[in-house]
Structure 1
Amino acid sequence: MSTHPARILVYGVTGSGKTTLARRLGERLGLPWHSVDDLTWEPGWVQVPQEVQRRRIEAICAQDRWILDHAYGAWLDVPLARAELVVGLDFPRWLSLGRLLRRTLVRLIRRDRVCNGNVESLRVSLSKDSIVLWHFSSYARKRDRMRRWRADPGEPQVLLFRRPRELEAWLRTLG
C-alpha cells in the first residue's frame, strides 16, 4: 500500500515546468497524469468551452487516482476540492520566464506539436494572446494564490518549492 497521495494538483506560474513535473510524478508514483492543455484546446487552437472543460475535469477528479498539471480559474474549485496534495512551483520570475522563452523558441524552430496537434507560431507568440504576455499578466496572481493556499489549513496540503533543487530533493524522497 502506497503512502503517497493519490490525487495531486501541480500548480505554478506560466513556464515553471508544471507539465514536466506532472509527467515525472506520474511515472514515479504510478499515477495517471493529465495534461490540462490537451483537455482545454482542440486542433486549430480552438478553446474548448468552459462548461465542457469543467465536465472533463470533473470526470478526472471523480476518480481515485490522478495528477493534473494545472487548474484554470473557471474550474479551479473542482481539483482543489479533491486534491490530497498541491505541489506549487513558486519559482522566481527570471527562472520561469527564461524557461518559457526557451521552450517557446524551441517549439517555434522545431514546429513541435502541442495541445492536440497545435503548433506555436511566431504570429501568436508576438500577439496579444502570447503566452509570454500571459506570464506577465498572471504571475503575481498565481504566486499569491499558491501562498494563500499554503497558509490556509482548510485547503489540501501544499508543498511550495521556490528553487528547482528543493523540488529535486523532494522528488528523490519519493523512491
Structure 2
Amino acid sequence: MQRILVVGISGAGKSTMARVLSGRLAVPYHEMDALRYVAPGWGVDEGFAAKVAALTASPAWVFDSLGYPEVRDLLWERADTVVWLDYGRAVIMPRVLRRSLRRTLRRERVFGGNRETLAGWFRRDHPAWWAWSQHGARRADIGSRARDPRFAHLRVIRFGAPREAAAWLDTVPPAEPGERASG
C-alpha cells in the first residue's frame, strides 16, 4: 500500500483520511483541490494534469479524490489501493453543511485563496448542493470503476460507515523510522 487514492463524495472525510494515512505510512499527501484551484475566482492551474502525472509517477503517494476528469483514469491506473468512503447522505450532509457553514461564517480561505460565500450557497456547484445531487451518481461511478477490468490491479477497501474506516485505520501499522517513502 504505497499509492493510495481516497475516494467518496464531498463531505465523506477524504482529506482527513488521506492526511492520516499519509502520516501513518510516511508517504506524501497531495490535496487534489489545492493542486487544481490556484487562483481567486476558482482559477484552475493550466498545468494541473501534468502536475498530477508527475506526482503519480513517484513510488509513493496519497491523493484525496476520485479525481477530476482530466486525471481520473491516471489516478486509478497508477494507484495500488483505493480507500472508498461510501457513506450515506445521513453521514455526508451534516458534515458538508457544518464545514461549509464554518467556512462561510469565518470567511476561511480555501484553495487558491478562495472563500465560500453566502451567495455561493445558491449555486448548483456549492459543496452542499453537489454532495446532495451527486451522491448516487458518484457512488455508481466509483462502484463501476471498482469492478472495471482496467483497474483489476487495485485493492479496493470500501467502508459504509465512519466507525468501520476508523477501525481499519487503527490496524494500519505506522512506517518504521527510516522507511520514509520519497515522492
Identity of aligned residues (%): 36
What displacement does 1:53 show? Answer: 2.0
Query: What root-mean-square deviation, in Å, do the aligned CA atoms of Structure 1 and Structure 2 show?
Result: 1.6
| Residue matched to 1:114 | 110
Which residue identity is paired with 2:54? A
TM-score by length of 2: 0.86
In the alignment, which residue of structure 1 is the partner of 2:80? 84
Q: 1:53 aligns with which of 48, 51, 55?
A: 48
Bigger relative contact order, structure 1 or 2, given CA contacts below 8 A and separation 6+?
2
Does 2:163 correspond to 1:165?
Answer: yes
Structure 1: stretches of 5+ with no match in the other structure: none
**TM-score, normalised relative to structure 1:** 0.90
Instruction: Return the match for 1:14 from 5, 10, 13.
Output: 10
User: 1:117 offset after TM fit, Å?
Assistant: 2.2
1-structure distance, mates of 2:70, 2:132 = 19
> Once the 2 structures are TM-superposed, how far is the Cα of residue 150 of structure 1 from its aligned partner?
3.2
Please say if residues 150 and 159 of structure 1, whose CA atoms lie closer than 8 Å, have aligned partners that are also in contact: no
1:63 maps to: 58
**Cα distance change of structure 1 residues 153 and 166 upon mapping to structure 2, 3 Å threshold:** farther
Per the alignment, residue 143 of structure 1 pairs with: 139
What is the aligned residue count?
A: 170
In 2, distance between residues paired with 1:143 and 1:32? 26
Instruction: For structure 2, list consecutive stretches of 5 or more residues without a partner in the other structure.
Output: 174-183
**CA offsets, 1:138-168, max 9 Å, x none?**
2112111222233345421110100001001
Paired residue secondary structure (1:158):
strand
Of 104-113 and 164-173, deviating more is 104-113
Match of 1:96 among 86, 89, 92: 92
Q: Hey, what's the Cα distance between the residues in 1 that align with 2:130 and 2:43?
A: 16
> Relative to 1, partners in 2 of residues 1:129 and 1:149: Cα closer, same or farther, differing over 3 Å?
closer
Which secondary structure does the structure 2 equivalent of 1:54 belong to? Answer: helix
Q: Secondary structure at the match of 1:74?
A: coil
CA distance in 1 between partners of 2:54 and 2:38 (Å): 18
